[in-house]
Amino acid sequence: MKKLIVDKKFDNKKLHDFLLYSFPSLSSNAIYKALRKKDIRINGKRVSENKTIFSQDEICIYIPDNILFNTNLDIIFEDSNIIILNKPFNLEITGNNSLTSLVQNNYSSEKEFPLPCHRLDRNTTGLIIFAKNEVALSILLEKFKNKEIEKHYACIVYGIPQKSSATLNAFLFKDSKKGMVYISPNRKTGYLPITTKYHVLKSNHKKNISILDVELVTGRTHQIRAHLAFINHPIIGDGKYGTNEINKKFKVKHQLLCSYKITFRFRGDSGILEYLSGKSFEIPYDNFYNIIEEHN
């Protein structure tokens, strides 16, 4: 049993919203099932519906911990300083119901840690590093800033690039209001320079698709997705920068983009993380082809 006191910001709000905020890995289905079974009490009274709650209400939840807390994190590597996770699709890195809240629920003895050291889009899967203490976080943030941590992405794009490898240079403008970025081949006011490297890992001429290894030299918002679309090789499943016709053709509803490889290439002092220098962590990218094969 878990006992919670309703905070002021949830005064006159719905019980459902409060529970999702308090237990980010808890599903709506689990909440409504618990309500049907009367496994939730408000101020000592069993409730069977999504009630309005008020500040200082006492909520008692009789839901097993394995349902309240997601214990199925896909951990690739962990020690006393860092965790490297394989992030699933459709999950923000920070905020309510995020990967960070899921991780912190699994390490509840540390209220502020672990914390993520970089970002991935909600619908990008793959490797992300969490620091388990302040010293590790400071070092990793500095190493990312100095480009001493190399990240490689795998993606399936439409078409067969003319060059098997290339370094792409352009300029990117971020429109925060629209949540979009725009690419220009020439420098313009408000546009920042970007560099994206790619290498063709595999191609399927019959289906007219390719798997690319992509390395970000600069790390702008949506850079990979927008830059590849700009050269007419959109990522399959990308609803924002891709093509609806292509996405429907392959029956893919989320972008096939994965952070599949991270290499620590420390040049200077790396303190307590010196042991990571030269190490590389990788997950398979071939499952992307399986997604295509399943539906086509």
Catalytic positions are 121
Closest to 215 (Cα-Cα) out of 155, 175, 174, 271: 155
Contact 67, 19 (CB under 8 A): no
Contacts of residue 194, Cβ cutoff 8 Å, sequence gap at least 6:
169, 170, 171, 172, 183, 217, 218, 220, 223, 227
Contacts of residue 112, Cβ cutoff 8 Å, sequence gap at least 6:
none
- In angstroms, rounded to a whole number, what is the distance separating the alpha carbons of residues 95 and 93? 7
Contact 283, 86 (CB under 8 A): yes
Contacts of residue 45, Cβ cutoff 8 Å, sequence gap at least 6:
none
Helices and strands of the chain, counted as H and E runs:
8, 17
Beta-strand ranges (E) seen in 217-277 are: 257-264
